[in-house]
Amino acid sequence: MKPRHPPGGRYDILVVGSGIAGLSFALKAAARGHSVAILTKKNKADSNTNFAQGGIAVVTAQSDDFDKHVRDTLVAGDGLCDENVVREIVRDGPQRVRELVDWGVRFSRNEAGAYDLGREGGHGERRILHVKDTTGKAIEEALLKAVARAERVDLLEHFFAIDIITTDRIDRNRERGGRRVAGLYALDVQSGRVVTFSAPVVMLSSGGAGQVYLYTTNPDIATGDGIAMAYRAGVAVRNMEFIQFHPTTLYSTTGERFLISEAVRGEGAVLRNFKGEAFMKRYHPLADLAPRDIVARAIDNEMKQSGAPHVWLDITHRRPEFIRGHFPQIYRTCKRLGYDLAKAPVPVVPAAHYTCGGVATNLRAETSLPGLYASGEAASTGLHGANRLASNSLLEAVVMSHRGAEAVDAYLTGHVVDSRPLPAWRDLGGGDPDERVVLSHNWDELRRTLWDYVGIMRTTKRLERARTRIATLTKEIHDYYWNFSVDTKLLELRNLLQVADLIVTCALKRRESRGLHAIADFPRKLKTARDSVIVAQRRR
């Protein structure tokens, strides 16, 4: 067990987030001789990675090839993928997966000893490597064990990254070599004290922003922290209108949403409406294995037409032992909640699942701010386009973190250490406990606003209503932020409001329906696909 270093201080690299992107990057960077601190705002295993059921899409079968995987990704991305990026990431996949195996990930195998490859929506071949239906958990556990053995990595739990410190904040009159990263502020959640970390490199691997919606498959930590931090630092953010809604989450009247993996449909499950009809064949030639945006809209349409609160997912034609063997976690969870997947269809509805846009990066994980990098769901590389192909997310994270580690190594090799002290955090002190109630109310109002007005099907009028409400909430939280001490709830709400504004602003810029962005005012797709990019105007 490595000793816990005192919080704060100087490192070569600060990593925000402890999912597959952050952990694999930290291991690669430390292996190159750099000191690394991983900051995670809750427990080290709290990440979107830990909740990933399906697996990682990679070409391993003889019947498959890179061109097929690229083609499936481009089709799902609906014209907005960067084909060069897609080819590079798909090509790098097999080697990065071999490294996961070396770190201790044991992917499921069939009776012949070969990988038990799954198939999910939008894939023309079986290419999903998985560990039954808990792939993310298996990857997270293996990487955390590797990090625990790494000599140059400190993993600091309960440290909430607040904002990036740039060199122009040290001395605006003596700026040398251009504006770049100098460190960040982070809240030590357990002590309530804000700590200053000094480092020339920050890697944002903080995941997505599913908690901006009322119903989501994401854990509580998914509040868009890295995306909001980058935007406040003046870095470009793009394609935030493309929020993927997973088609099949278990319906409950309490509002909780448990993800039922797309792999269940890959093994033959069928979606049925309240009449018992298998309706997906009316919406797409691939029927239940169509891309996620199409399946989610089809379910939404079926529910609206019938007034039903959900549709049904039916896999009862498969043997019970097959279901229990392939999907043990899903089967147990459904059974605990009163549904036997092997005996009867289960009720499902869409829920917010994945942020396809994010911090704009190149293929080296570099942003427009020297020293700032992004990987995983927080980043927008050009792989996903207007709709992510199932199980490409873990692939992107591990490939881009490897590339980011190489880029960071080159950046630090030519870096001259800046010894100037960083500006101290100003704690404005205290706060009225009665005012804390406002945070809960505003959090609830924001998530309901996004769900009602910025959901699966949109209109310009609804988007404008959402923008007005977000602006009002932002002003309230801005006043609160600058008058009281910070805590986790305040920081998360501040970030969610920033992300919500980015989603709506990007959605209003896109005057067409493409991929995950369907808007009634502009039902047709434009001939030329363009990114929607937003850059914050920094205050000087």
- Residue 308: Cβ within 10 Å count: 15
Sheet holding 243-250, edge to edge: 258-259, 243-250, 346-355, 311-314, 270-272
Which tokens belong to 252?
Answer: 């409950």
Return the sign of the alpha-carbon dihedral for residues 427, 428, 430, 433.
Answer: negative
Q: DSSP 3-state helix, strand, coil percentages of the chain (rounded to 5)?
A: 40, 20, 45
Determine which one of 292, 447, 467, 510 is catalytic.
Answer: 292
Q: At 181, which amino acid appears?
A: V
φ, ψ of residue 137 to 5 degrees: the values are -60, -40
How does DSSP assign 232-243, residue by residue? HTT--EE-TT-E
What is the Cα gyration radius of the chain? 23
292 part of the active site: yes
| Of 341, 266, 273, 344, nearest in space to 306 by CA | 273
Spell out where 256-344 has E strands.
Answer: 258-259, 270-272, 311-314
| Of 20, 124, 118, 133, nearest in space to 76 by CA | 124
Q: At 504, which amino acid appears?
A: V
Contact 62, 54 (CB under 8 A): no
Indicate the angle between helix axes 392-413 and 135-149, nearest 10 degrees.
Answer: 20
Catalytic residues: 292
